[in-house]
Amino acid sequence: MALPDQIKAQLKSLYASPSNELPHINRMRAESDANCCPMCGSFHSGTLDHLLPKTDFPAFAIFGRNLVPACKCNSKRSTLLTGPNPGERILHPYYDDILGERLFVARFDEPGSVPRITLRPLLDPHDPNYTAVRFHMANIVERTSIMRYLKTSWMGVLRRPSLAAAELRNVPATRQDLEDILTLELDRQDDTHGSKNNWRSVFIAGLLDDPVLDWLIAAFQRPNYHPDGPLLDGIV
């Protein structure tokens, strides 16, 4: 049954200015500046926002499980919740345990000064969560500035490899050494930010793709390379 307009307005007002009887809202606001946004993985300052929009679902305006710490990706999403095809929906930070797994990584095609950068989902297409993860990635994550972040991070590594992992200030002796360094750094970033889908982990995980590892170790081992120097000539 639809709520009367007066009750809708009251519930929205309670969220905007919670009374002492609703301490969870102020507490969640105070704690909302999380390590990273649980919706998109960015490091932008968090806000307390509604997953089910309070304009369409006023009954959940003050419901704690509908209030999620998120960055501006949630406002870009607007009221989008599901897609036209079966299984297409955004993921919920409180109810979708799949968000605790590594869902996607950066993909660097044709590594070099200007690689083509995309996001690569990791789930098997037959996984029951695959459709939801792809929908969430396309409609939440890819609407952010993550591609610009990945491009900037790649350019930083070309200029100074230790920006990806401090241990890369020294030249890795073998491809396996390089892989071990980046794997350790990936674990460190996962732990630091409390998510395997934070943007830094998405970037580092992309460096661990076989073609990228091959390209990196070749750049490290080229003649006259100076430790922690540019991986390509002409990069400053």
Segment 32-65, tens digit of pLDDT: 555 689 899 998 766 777 788 777 787 777 677 7
Instruction: Yes or no: say if 177 and 170 are a contact pair by the CB < 8 Å rule.
Output: no
| pLDDT computed for residue 2 by the predictor | 63
| CA gap 139, 126 in Å, rounded | 21
Torsion of CA 78, 58, 133, 40, to 10 degrees: 60
pLDDT one-digit tens code per residue, 89-142: 999 988 999 999 999 999 999 998 889 999 999 999 999 999 999 999 999 999
From 142, 138, 144, select the one nearest 88 (Cα to Cα). Answer: 138
Instruction: Yes or no: say if 137 and 119 are a contact pair by the CB < 8 Å rule.
Output: yes
Q: What is the CB-side half-sphere exposure of residue 156 using CA atoms within 13 A?
A: 16
| pLDDT computed for residue 36 by the predictor | 86
CB neighbour class for 69 (10 Å; exposed up to 12, middle 13-18, buried from 19): buried
The phi, psi pair for 108, rounded to 5°, reads -110, 100
